[in-house]
A = this chain, B = another copy of it.
């Protein structure tokens, strides 16, 4: 629907190779199609050159398999997040070459292995329990063509563990930090590096952690200016934003 193609359309009308009625119809013919339960948007994939994403959670195994196989026909990478083993088996029976990334709860079809990212994406997590969220970020960034390096269990109560990795961290082009409980880690990491930090609050904790709200508020109020935040447990979103940043020319 960009000006060029519209201009071309008008020129065809001018030349008489297209009738006005056909032109109106072609303007309406937008690049998506209808599976009944979900409009598959190829357009988006075309627009930004990135893989199609399916949110597995809340969909049946056959719904996931249906959408996944359809998207797989277009030749790019496909990623199903928050997917379980059962959904994976349903997909696997329809699509070849898929793998299940258990820690990151993701079904991955990686046909395109081009390295789109210009630098390293560092994924840092505070505690052992934050790893599933961190892994979701890792697998997302990898499917989107990035080199990823992870730094796990480097929470702020033992600051020396983080400082020991300072040099490695400072080589990243973007940093993703996952933390639950008080969510302090992004502030400390943000102070150590000079690049954008994507903070992911996790629902790790109990009592007054309110399933990640404490960490979320902590990150939104970070005293480090280079921190922006995504939803609680949204490792995928962090991996996606980091990938977009990392592929900027």
Contact = CB atoms under 8 A, between A and B. Distances in A.
B196 A128 contact: no
Interface string A169-196: 0000100000011111001101110111
A62 interface: no
Given A20-B11, A207-B234, A233-B207, A214 B218 contact: yes
B158 A44 contact: yes
A7 B10 CA distance: 11
A65 B163 CA distance: 28
Given A154-B39, A226-B240, A228-B228, A221 B198 contact: no
A204 interface: yes
Copies of this chain held together in the complex: 8
B244 A194 contact: yes
Contacts of A227: 230, 237, 241
B37 A128 contact: yes
A136 to B, nearest CB: 12
A97 interface: no
Contacts of A6: 24, 27
Given A37-B153, A195-B248, A212-B207, A241 B225 contact: yes
Interface in A212-231: 212-231
Contact of A187 (B59, B63, B157, B244): B157
A202 to B, nearest CB: 9
B207 A220 contact: yes
A127 B208 CA distance: 21
A237 B218 contact: no
